[in-house]
Amino acid sequence: MGASILAIDYHLPAAVVDNTELASAFPEWSAEQLEAKTGIVTRHIAAEKECASDLAFEAASTLLARVPFDRRKVDFLLLCTQSPDYFLPTTACLLQDRLGLPVTCGALDFNLGCSGFVYGLSLAKGLIESHQASAVLLLTAETYSKFMHPLDKSVQPIFGDGAAATLIVETPETGIGELVLGTDGRGWSNLIVPTGGTRNPTVVDAAAEADSQGSCRTVNNLYMNGPEIFAFTLQAVPSVVERLLAKARLTANQIDVFVFHQANKYMLEHLRKKLGIAPEKFVISMSHCGNTVSSTIPIALRDAEANGLLKSGSKVMVVGFGVGYSWGAGLLTWR
Ligand SMILES: CC(C)(COP(=O)(O)OP(=O)(O)OC[C@H]1O[C@@H](n2cnc3c(N)ncnc32)[C@H](O)[C@@H]1OP(=O)(O)O)[C@@H](O)C(=O)NCCC(=O)NCCS
């Protein structure tokens, strides 16, 4: 008995920001340069009143309408988000009700960024293999746009809003294989929204300041130290890939498809070359939506399936990494 991904769907909000629009806000970059560096052409941005739960609801509704699976059998709802609707209650409770899931369903939020999908797989596998659940709906949903300053060129080209729904069910053979996780909280301040929690309340009328690179933000906005995140990733990702292969007693050649967190093309290409992975085995699928944080891996998996890259029996490695710092890698056998 094991746990396997039965289906994935995703939802992107309607409004789109393209590279031409960004290039007019940041004239030092052209639309072509932005695409070449980031691998992103458009990002979708949530409307003013559109929250993570709205995006997650749409993703889950698409999945439950497409897949012949009775929603009354979902017995655990996991929501990964760092932009919850409220401090409390947990947004997963709102979604249990809105999606019409049974009251016998467990539900919780967990706060992780780009490693969130891999952690979600780990939690779902644990719940299923310990007989606490038989069908887990894993939702990932983020609206980082609400945290970003419009004139912060370090984050505006990279992040987009979006949500994904992944249905994980009990199966005779396991589709979610070995997993390894990691944390280094020394990097906590390199990707952060500094205010709005209990440590530093939101500052009313906070003034925007320009940094040495010419990016503007207030203390209430998302801050990303891109070069530090880049350095952390180049160090952490190869070692987590090695740890996972050693644990599973596999070599990289035995993996059919690698789906890494879609941070940006510049960084992904550095990682791919450092690890010696062939481009045809390495998914880059973010041109239409940008870095959607915890949803990038399920979005890329869904796209790879739709494009025929993922086939039944494909051995897939997923790797998530970022804010925290937090990271994780897992092996999947595609159904
Ligand atoms: C942002 C990042 C691309 C900057 O790269 P760097 O090597 O540290 O610094 P540089 O300033 O030399 O930038 C390299 C190139 O990327 C471009 N660039 C830098 N920041 C950029 C941004 N925010 N958006 C688009 N392009 C950017 C630069 O113009 C430069 O282009 P050039 O080679 O044509 O001159 C890199 O630090 C990075 O990928 N960091 C991780 C950011 C990320 O993806 N975070 C998501 C959370 S996991």
Ligand 1 atom with least separation from CA of 157: 24
pLDDT of residue 289: 98
Instruction: Tell how far the Cα of 155 is from the centroid of ligand 1, in angstroms.
Output: 10
The string of pLDDT tens digits covering residues 178-231 is 999 999 999 999 999 999 999 999 999 999 999 999 999 999 999 999 999 999
Which residues are tagged catalytic?
Answer: 114, 261, 291
Ligand 1 atom with least separation from CA of 213: 11
The string of pLDDT tens digits covering residues 151-164 is 999 999 999 999 99
* Buried b or exposed e, range 73-91, using 16+ CB within 10 angstroms: ebbbbbbbbbbbbeeeebb
* Percent of the chain surpassing pLDDT 70: 100
- The structure tokens 């203390």 sit at 219
pLDDT of residue 296: 98
pLDDT of residue 146: 98
Closest protein CA for atom 31 of ligand 1: 37
Report whether pLDDT(48) > 90: yes
Instruction: Please indicate whether residue 156, judged by its CB atom, sits closer than 6 Å to ligand 1.
Output: no
Task: Among 18, 29, 37, 237, name the best residue to mutate to test ligand 1's pocket (greatest count of ligand atoms within 8 A of Cβ).
Answer: 37
> Which is it for strands 76-80 and 106-110: parallel, antiparallel or unpaired?
parallel
For range 243-252, the mean pLDDT: 97
Q: Nearest-CA neighbor of 166 among 44, 296, 21?
A: 296
Instruction: Please indicate whether residue 157, judged by its CB atom, sits closer than 6 Å to ligand 1.
Output: yes
- The structure tokens 């993570």 sit at 52
Work out the angle between the directed axes of helices 265-275 and 31-38 (0-180°, nearest 10): 30
Q: H or E segment at 217?
A: strand 216-217
pLDDT of residue 283: 97
Environment class of residue 205 by beta-carbon count within 10 Å: exposed (0-12), middle (13-18) or buried (19+)?
Answer: exposed
pLDDT band at 20 (very low <50, low <70, confident <90, very high): very high
Q: Report how far apart, in Å, the C-alpha atoms of 155 and of each of 12, 119, 193 are.
A: 18, 24, 12
Instruction: Please indicate whether residue 110, judged by its CB atom, sits closer than 6 Å to ligand 1.
Output: no
For range 82-92, the mean pLDDT: 98
* Percent of the chain surpassing pLDDT 90: 99
First to last CA, the chain: 15
Instruction: Tell how far the Cα of 117 is from the centroid of ligand 1, in angstroms.
Output: 24
Ligand 1 atom with least separation from CA of 34: 25
Ligand 1 atom with least separation from CA of 114: 48
Which residues is 136 bridged to in the sheet?
A: 76, 168
pLDDT of residue 100: 98
Instruction: Tell how far the Cα of 313 is from the centroid of ligand 1, in angstroms.
Output: 36
Q: H or E segment at 120?
A: helix 116-129
Instruction: Tell how far the Cα of 265 is from the centroid of ligand 1, in angstroms.
Output: 10
Instruction: Tell how far the Cα of 87 is from the centroid of ligand 1, in angstroms.
Output: 33
Give the integer Cα–Cα distance in Å for 210 and 77.
41
For range 308-312, the mean pLDDT: 94
Give the integer Cα–Cα distance in Å for 103 and 106.
8
* Amino acid residing at 90: T
Instruction: Please indicate whether residue 296, judged by its CB atom, sits closer than 6 Å to ligand 1.
Output: no
For range 236-265, the mean pLDDT: 97
For range 73-79, the mean pLDDT: 98
Instruction: Tell how far the Cα of 170 is from the centroid of ligand 1, in angstroms.
Output: 41
Q: H or E segment at 92?
A: helix 91-98
The string of DSSP letters for 54-76 reads HHHHHHHHHHHHHS---GGG--E
Closest protein CA for atom 1 of ligand 1: 226
| Cβ atoms 75, 102 nearer than 8 A | yes
pLDDT of residue 335: 86
Closest protein CA for atom 24 of ligand 1: 157
Task: Among 33, 211, 230, name the best residue to mutate to test ligand 1's pocket (greatest count of ligand atoms within 8 A of Cβ).
Answer: 230
For range 236-243, the mean pLDDT: 98
